[in-house]
Amino acid sequence: MACIVFSDTAGGTYSNGKGYFYIPVNIKQIEISSIGYNTKKMTLNKKIDTIFLSPKIYEISETKVIPAKKKRKSVELGYAEENSDFGMSYLSGDELAVYISCDNIENSYRKIKQFIFKGEKYLVKKLNLDKRDFISVFKINFYRAIENKEIGDLINTEDIVFTSEVLKSKTKLDVSKYNIYMPENGIFVAVEWIGKINTETTQIIKASINDRLEPNIRMSWKIPNTIVYEKRRFVNSNTWQRVDKNNRMVKDIKSLDKSLDESSYYTPLISIVLE
């Protein structure tokens, strides 16, 4: 599944699992990125119907695997058990990431078994724009935490894709087969909103630039000292922005709710479970 950013105007789209995508006829410059491949910038012309990306070579440091002396119990880290204050959804190309600490050295390099989040499934009717049934597509991503707990490189080397059909008030997603391990410095876990597909054909993903997509992630204002980032691929050139007092949503909500103090920022109710 590739992300296609329109370089000469705001907007973009995603390919489906077979690599097919549609773009408006007026688009001339695009940037294509996909997990496991080098990003490609190019100018379109009428002769192009197939685009090839070159594989990306990953250099990883040596890893020592030491068997545990006894079987350890699963442990949940994060915020999915907290009480929620409101829900928030996003548009195609948007991504929301929250930092989860390793908690203690014994949890480092344990495999991540589940991705959990509180959410709601209520946007289906809004997506029935042409009287057909649509479902939303979203991805789960894992990023390294680097110096000063800033968001670093992507860890997963393949797409982790789900549809809104799996959503519950508390959604638990099995990610154990992707072999993601908890770094010693902690990890950023993220939801990326892709688009919607027609359940009658499921042939192409339609980017949703105006209509918000599922999942609708529950948030809390009351969790102190969390680190949250947002990215809007089709708006701000694929740049991560820290959620703080300058965040547009924080400003809007604080203007409506005067009970929130200066240090209040929202936290997505997301957790991971380690094997």
Kindly report, residue by residue over 101-135, the tens digit of the pLDDT.
Answer: 998 888 999 999 999 999 876 554 444 444 456 78
Q: Which residues pair with 116 in a beta bridge?
A: 172, 271
Tokens representing residue 129 in the block: 């724009």
Better-predicted residue by pLDDT, 48 or 56: 56
CA angle 227, 232, 236 (to 5 degrees): 110
CA distances, 69 to each of 66, 72, 104, 255 (Å): 9, 9, 18, 54
Whole-number Å distance between alpha carbons of 154 and 189: 10
Q: Where do runs of H (alpha helix) occur along the chain?
A: 248-256
- Give the end-to-end CA distance of the chain in Å, rounded to a whole number: 28
* Total Cβ atoms within 10 A of residue 6: 19
Q: What is the mean pLDDT of residues 51-68?
A: 68
Whether the predicted pLDDT of 240 surpasses 70: yes
Q: For 97-111, 161-175, 238-252, which range has the lowest pLDDT when averaged over its residues?
A: 238-252
**Residue 108 dihedral angles phi and psi, to the nearest 5°:** -70, 145
Contact between residue 34 and residue 5 where contact means Cβ atoms under 8 Å apart: no
Whole-number Å distance between alpha carbons of 106 and 88: 34
Question: In the block, which residue shows the tokens 């240090």?
Answer: 263
- What the chain holds in terms of domains, given with CATH numbers, is 1-59 (no CATH), 75-274 (2.60.120)
Whole-number Å distance between alpha carbons of 141 and 189: 6
This prediction's pTM? 0.86
CA angle 117, 121, 124 (to 5 degrees): 145
Whole-number Å distance between alpha carbons of 121 and 123: 6
Query: Percentage of residues in the chain with pLDDT exceeding 90?
Result: 48
Calculate the average pLDDT of the chain: 85
Contact between residue 21 and residue 2 where contact means Cβ atoms under 8 Å apart: yes
Whole-number Å distance between alpha carbons of 218 and 266: 10
Specify the DSSP element, H or E, that contains 113. strand 112-120
Question: In the block, which residue shows the tokens 């959503």?
Answer: 167
Query: pLDDT tens digit string along 191-215?
Result: 999 998 876 665 788 888 888 899 9
pLDDT value of residue 62 = 56
CA distances, 235 to each of 9, 34, 92, 224, 232 (Å): 9, 18, 10, 29, 5
The dihedral over CA atoms of 25, 29, 35, 38, expressed in degrees to the nearest 10, equals 140
